[in-house]
Structure 1
Amino acid sequence: MDAQQFLAEFGHIVNAPGGIAQLREMIYQLAVTGSLSTRRDQDSDVEILLADIEQVRQRLIREKKYKRIKKLENEPVQPPLEFKIPESWRWTRLLDVGEISPRNDAPDDSLVAFVPMSGIPQTHLGALFVEIKQWSKIKKGYTHFSNHDVVLAKITPCFENGKSAVITDLRSDLGIGAGSTELHVFRPIHDGVLPTYVYLFLRSPLFVAEGKESMTGTAGQKRLPTDYFATRAFPLPPLEEQTRIVAKVDELMALCDKLEAQQQEHRKLQNALRQSTLRAVSSAESPHELQDSWARLEANFEQLFSAPEDVDELRNLVLDLSIHGLLSEKDDNDESVELFTERCISGKSDRLSAGKMKRKAAKATDVTQLDINLPEHWQRIPLDALFQFIDYRGKTPPKTSSGVTLITAKNVRSGQLNKDPKEYISEESYRVWMTRGYPRIGDLLFTTEAPLGNVALIENDPKFALAQRIIDLQPFADLNTRCAMNFMLSPTFQKLLIDNSTGMTAKGIKAAKLKQLELPIPPLEEQDRIVDRVEKLMHICGALESQLHQTKELSDRLASTAVAALTGISTEQEEEKPVKAPQTELISPLRLGQTPDIKSRAPLATLLARHSGEMMAKDLWQRFGGEIDAFYAQLKTEVYHGWIQEPAPAEMREVFAEGAGV
Structure 2
Amino acid sequence: MPDDTALLLERHFDLAFAAPDGVQKLRELILTLAMQGKLVSQDPDDQPASELLKAIETEKQRLVKEKRIGKPYQLREINTEELPYELPKGWEWVILDRLVSKIGSGSTPRGGKDAYVIEGIPFLRSQNIWNNGLRADDVAFISEETHKKMAATTVMPMDLLLNITGASIGRCALVPDDFGEANVSQHVTIIRCINPEIRRFIHYLLLSPYGQSLIWTRQVGMSREGLSKKVLEQFQIPLPPLAEQHRIVAKIDRLMARCDELEKLRAERDQKRITIHTAVINRLLTAKESDDFSTAWRFITQHFGELYSVRENVAELRKAILQLAVMGKLVPQDPTDEPASELLRAIELEKQRLVKEGKMKEPQPLPKLKVEEIPYQAPKGWIWVRFEDIVQINSGVTKGRKLNGKEIVTLPYLRVANVQRGYLDLEVIKEIEIAKDEIQRFELKERDLLITEGGDWDKVGRTAIWKAEISPCIHQNHVFRARCWLVKQNEQWLEKYLNSSVAKAYFANASKQTTNLASINKTQLRGCPILLPPLAEQHRIVTKIDRLMALCDHLDQQIDAAISKQTTLLNAVIAQV
Q: Give the TM bin, normalised by the shorter chain.
A: 0.7 to 0.9
Q: CA deviation at 1:474?
A: 1.4
Quote how far apart the aligned CAs of 1:157 are.
Answer: 3.0
261-270 or 29-38: bigger deviation? 29-38
Aligned equivalent of 2:164: 154
> In the alignment, residue 547 of structure 1 is paired with which amino acid?
Q
* Aligned mates of 2:166, 2:575 — CA distance in 1: 24
Question: Equivalent of 1:22, from 9, 22, 25?
Answer: 25
2: distance between equivalents of 1:514 and 1:177? 56
Asked if structure 2 preserves the Cα contact closer than 8 Å seen for 1:320 and 1:492, the reply is: yes
Equivalent residue, structure 2, for 1:650: none
- 1:200 is matched with 204
Instruction: Give the equivalent residue in structure 2 for 1:53.
Output: 56
Paired position in structure 2 for 1:463 = 472
Give 1:481 deviation, angstroms: 0.3
Counterpart-to-counterpart distance in 2, 1:327 and 1:515:
27
Q: 2:492 aligns with which of 467, 476, 482?
A: 482
**Does 1:409 pair with 2:416?**
yes
Give how far 1:385 is off. Answer: 0.8
Q: Distance in 2 between matches of 1:271 and 1:93?
A: 50
Q: Deviations over 1:431-478 (max 9, x none)?
A: 44x675543211211123212120011111463332223221112223
1:249 paired to 2:260: no
Alpha carbons 1:290, 1:326 under 8 Å: kept: no
Q: 1:302 to 1:68 in 2, by over 3 A?
A: farther
- 1:440 corresponds, among 439, 442, 445, to 445
CA deviations on 1:81-116 (whole Å, 9 max, x unpaired) are: 54543x3333322122224524899xx99x855222
User: Aligned residue for 1:98?
Assistant: 100
Which residue does the alignment assign to 1:584? Answer: none
Taking the aligned partners of 1:398 and 1:288, their CA distance within structure 2 comes to: 63
Cα distance in 2, alignment partners of residues 97 and 388 from structure 1: 76
Please provide the CA RMSD for this pair.
3.7
Matches within 5 A, 1:424-573: 424-428=431-435, 431-432=437-438, 438-450=443-455, 451-460=459-468, 461=470, 463-477=472-486, 478-505=488-515, 506-566=517-577
Q: Distance in 1 between matches of 2:82 and 2:401?
A: 64
Look up the SS of the partner of 1:507 in the other structure.
strand
CA distance in 2, matches of 1:89, 1:68: 26
**TM-fit CA distance, 1:266:** 1.6
1:37-92 CA distance string (max 9 Å, x none): 4556775443222112222334445566545674643344667454543x333332
Q: Which residue of 2 aligns with 1:304?
A: 307
CA distance in 2: counterparts of 1:183 and 1:398, whole angstroms: 54
Confirm or deny that 1:163 pairs with 2:168.
no
- Residue matched to 1:418: 425
3-state DSSP class of the match of 1:364? coil
Instruction: Specify the code of the residue in structure 2 equivalent to 1:464.
Output: C
Mapped to 2, the partners of 1:145 and 1:76 lie a distance apart of 33
Deviations 1:511-535 (A, max 9, x none): 2233223212222232222222111
Give the alignment's TM-score, normalised by structure 1: 0.73
Specify whether residues 357 and 140 from structure 1 end up closer, same or farther in structure 2 by C-alpha distance, changes over 3 A only.
Answer: farther
| Aligned partner (choices 84, 88, 91) of residue 90 of structure 2 | 88
**Partner AA of 2:429 in structure 1:** K
Q: Name the SS of the counterpart of 2:480 in structure 1.
A: strand
Equivalent residue number for residue 648 of structure 1: none
SS at match of 2:233: helix
Task: Flag the 1:366–1:516 CA change in 2: closer, same or farther, 3 A.
Answer: farther
1:378 alignment partner, one of 377, 382, 396: 382
Q: Is the 8 A contact 2:323 2:502 kept in 1?
A: yes
Q: Residue 235 of structure 1 corresponds to which residue in structure 2?
A: 238
Moved more, 469-478 or 57-66: 57-66
Q: Give the aligned residue type for 2:446.
A: I
The count of residues paired between Structure 1 and Structure 2 equals: 551
Counterparts in 2 of 1:387 and 1:368: CA distance versus 1, 3 Å: farther
Offset of 1:355 from its aligned partner? 5.6
Query: What's the secondary structure of 2:279's corresponding residue?
Result: helix
Report the alpha carbon displacement of residue 415 of structure 1 after superposing the two structures with TM.
Answer: 0.7
Alpha-carbon contact 2:415-2:479 (below 8 Å) kept: yes
Q: How does 1:581-660 map to 2 (within 5 A)?
A: none
Name the aligned partner's letter for residue 449 of structure 2: L
Distance 1:154 1:136 in 2: 26
- Tell me if structure 2 keeps the 8 A contact 1:94–1:186: no
- What is the distance in 2 between the residues matched to 1:81 and 1:421? 45
Cα distance in structure 1, aligned partners of 2:570 and 2:343: 58
SS in structure 2 opposite 1:327? Answer: coil
Mapped pair 1:389 → 2:396: no
Partner secondary structure for residue 132 of structure 2: coil
* Structure 2 partner of 1:643: none
SS at match of 1:403: strand
Is 1:322 aligned with 2:331?
Answer: no
Aligned CA distance change for structure 1 residues 278 and 176 (closer, same or farther; 3 Å): closer
For residues 103 and 56 of structure 1, the distance between their equivalents in structure 2, rounded to whole angstroms, comes to 23
**Paired letter, 2:557:** S
**How do 1:173-184 residues align onto structure 2 when only pairs under 5 Å count?**
175=181, 177-179=183-185, 181-184=186-189
The structure-2 alpha-carbon separation of the partners of 1:553 and 1:211, relative to structure 1 and needing over 3 Å to count, comes to: farther
Change (3 A) 1:200 1:541: same
Inter-partner Cα distance in structure 2 for 1:104 and 1:371: 59
Stretches of structure 1 lacking an aligned partner (at least 5 in a row): 567-662
CA gap 1:135/1:18 in 2 versus in 1, 3 angstroms: farther
Deviation at 1:291? 7.6
Give the alignment of 1:283-302 within 5 angstroms. Answer: 283=286, 294=297, 296-302=299-305
In the alignment, is the contact (CA less than 8 A) between 2:125 and 2:188 conserved in 1? no
Change (3 A) 1:68 1:157: farther
In the alignment, residue 133 of structure 1 is paired with which amino acid? I
Residue 47 to residue 489, structure 1, CA distance change in 2 (3 Å): same
One-letter amino acid of the counterpart of residue 94, structure 2: T
SS in 1 for 2:133: coil
Q: Given the superposition, is the C-alpha separation of residues 315 and 184 from structure 1 closer, same or farther in structure 2, using an over 3 Å criterion?
A: same
1:135 shift after superposition: 7.6
How far 1:34 moved relative to its partner?
A: 3.6
C-alpha distance in structure 2 between counterparts of 1:425 and 1:176, whole Å: 59
Change (3 A) 1:298 1:104: closer
Amino acid aligned to 2:460: L
Question: In structure 2, do the counterparts of structure 1 residues 132 and 528 end up closer, same or farther at CA, with 3 Å as the change threshold?
Answer: closer
Number of the residue aligned with 1:660? none
- Residue identity over aligned pairs, in percent, reads 22
The equivalent residue for 1:599 is none
One-letter code aligned to 1:264: A
Seen in structure 2, the aligned counterparts of structure 1 residues 141 and 331 have a Cα distance that, compared at 3 Å, is farther
Partner of 2:344: 341
Q: In the alignment, residue 89 of structure 1 is paired with which amino acid?
A: W
In structure 2, the residue corresponding to 1:303 is in which secondary structure? helix
Whether the aligned pair in 1 keeps the contact of 2:124 and 2:182 (CA below 8 Å) is: no
* Separation in 1, partners of 2:526, 2:16: 54
What TM-score, normalized by structure 2, do the two folds share?
0.83
Which residue identity does 1:327 align to in structure 2? L
